[in-house]
Amino acid sequence: MSTTVAPAPATRKTPPLEDHVIVIFGATGDLAKRKLFPGLFHLFAAGLMPEEFRIIGSGRNAPGDDDDFRELVREALEEFGRRDVREEIWEPFAKRLSFTASSAGDGEELAAAVRRAEQAIGHATRRLLYLSVPPSAMKPMVRMLGATGLVAGARLIMEKPFGTDLASARELNAVLREVVEEDQIFRIDHFLGKEAAQNILAFRFANGLFEPAWNRNHISHVQIDVPETLTVEGRANFYEGTGAFRDMVVTHLFQLLGFVALEPPVRLTPKALHQEKAKVFDAMRPLRRDKVILGQYEGYRGEQGVDPDSQVETFAAIEVKLDTWRWEGVPFLLRTGKAMAEGRRSITIGFKEPPLRMFADDGDFAHCQRPNELVFELADTPRITVDVRAKVPGPALELGAAPLTLDFADAFKEGNGLEAYERLVLDVMRGDHTLFTSSQEIERLWEISDPLLQDPPAIRTYRRGSWGPDEAIALAGKRGWRLPEAEPC
């Protein structure tokens, strides 16, 4: 006996969703299997999908008939999903799944399938088109959507990369403008969908304790650090044409920098936030080659599909400065890399030391180089930590270091945590652009990056399992990078 999962009750903050027909291009690809179908299934099980919806998978090669496609989706849920696939939830979800083949040159059959799905729902619906396709297919696919009328009134989700340099980004945006309006486009960056990334805004603007100190008078540095233990692992063809700087820095890390550094908006609306983030990017100084370290892990050139003489970087560390009153003189240190010592995703706000030491005999603290730090861990189960100094219990006035940690799973037991793709797809169905990037932002970031990409510094080799080239370690100065295993100073 099948049941229908009732949508969660609408509130002032979560208005009811319009009924949807969702088309996923690249529906048999890795992203769809790992993230999109498990995410949609979790939203459905949690009552966060529209009352009526259809999901149409699409691509050049059909996996068989609709039942074969449903079996493919179920296998993806069982392998990558984060909840059990119970029959009473799976059955009504599966009935809403189908597959129709399409290509950049032929979308008429898909357009007919979408119209049939809309007619089956029986009243006005919203279209959501998710383009999970290779960069080379993006422009012809967009033109196909325009030619078939599929994009009429639709919301369009686009996966990065949004170009590979300024010229290609502008060309892609020009093609998009031929077919859709800017407010129909949702350029997705899953880093911005993480709870901890959004908590940068909440922690800062909702707490009078932190906003007054969020400036150069109190903050010594900011680190945005995303090392990975994984190698390219079968993605060499993609990586050889992209590299760490294009793949991670221009997109994810710069966007996180924008969230950390923006001025308080007049109100918390998507338009106001994008305006303030754009001002941050306008204020970024040209990147200095001597403050950019590019590296390649030992053995990368031996990976299958890699050029034996490859000069593609698998590591990037850079210092960014902003020409604003708030951030004058504060270095923003960004780092990412493959095959590194540990995997983590964190943003560290380093605070300045007190101007006068009041404790004459404070042991190791007298020579300590690390300040108090506020750390946002961008994990699926987010945490925020503040490193503080306090008196150690006992007869002597002895200082010790300890973390104050906010674990969201413990603090908000009734919360309904969503993974990044789940939250972002839900935001698209709501028409909320807050966590998505605009064409203006994309083009400005490529404008900043192009001179470096045209004349990059020499690639330095680093050991697998290390923290990158020595020059990158030195980039952080005497205070160093905050490392996962390090004790607060």
Q: Do 256 and 222 touch, CB atoms closer than 8 A?
A: no
247 labelled ligand-binding: yes
For residue 13, being part of any structural domain is answered with: no
| Of 361, 357, 350, residue with least CA distance to 399 | 361
- At residue 178, what are phi and psi to the nearest 5 degrees? -70, -25
For residues 136 and 244, membership in a common domain is answered with: no
pLDDT at 382 over 90: no
Q: Please report which confidence band the pLDDT of residue 416 belongs to, taking 50, 70 and 90 as the band edges.
A: low
Q: Consult the annotation and say whether 271 binds a ligand.
A: no
What is the span of the domain harbouring residue 236?
192-419+439-479
The pLDDT value recorded for residue 199 is 84
- 60 labeled part of a ligand binding site: yes
* One domain for residues 215 and 66: no
Task: Judge residue 361's burial from the number of C-beta atoms within 10 Å of its C-beta, 0-12 exposed, 13-18 middle, 19 or more buried.
Answer: exposed
- CA dihedral for 177, 182, 186, 188, sign (positive or negative): positive
117: in domain? yes
Position 90 pLDDT exceeds 70: yes
> Could you give the CA distance from residue 22 to residue 56 in angstroms, rounded to a whole number?
6
In this structure, the answer to whether residues 153 and 233 fall within a common structural domain is no
Can you tell me the distance from the alpha carbon of 320 to that of 275, in angstroms, rounded to the nearest whole number? Answer: 20
**367 pLDDT more than 60:** no
Q: Which residue has the tokens 């006005």?
A: 124
20 is in an annotated binding site: no
pLDDT over 70 for what percent of the chain?
A: 92
Q: Is the peptide bond before 456 cis (omega within 30 degrees of 0)?
A: no
Q: Examine the pLDDT at 282 and tell me if it is beyond 50.
A: yes
Residue 61 reports pLDDT greater than 70: yes
User: How many distinct structural domains can be found in the chain?
Assistant: 2
450: domain CATH number? 3.30.360.10
Partners of residue 438 on adjacent β-strands: none
Specify whether the CB–CB gap between 68 and 108 falls below 8 A.
no
- Whether the pTM exceeds 0.85: the reply is yes
In a domain, 403, yes or no: yes
pLDDT for the residue numbered 197 = 77
Among residues 159, 182, 208, the one where a domain terminates is 159
Active site residues: 252
Residue 200 falls inside a structural domain = yes
30 labeled binding residue: yes
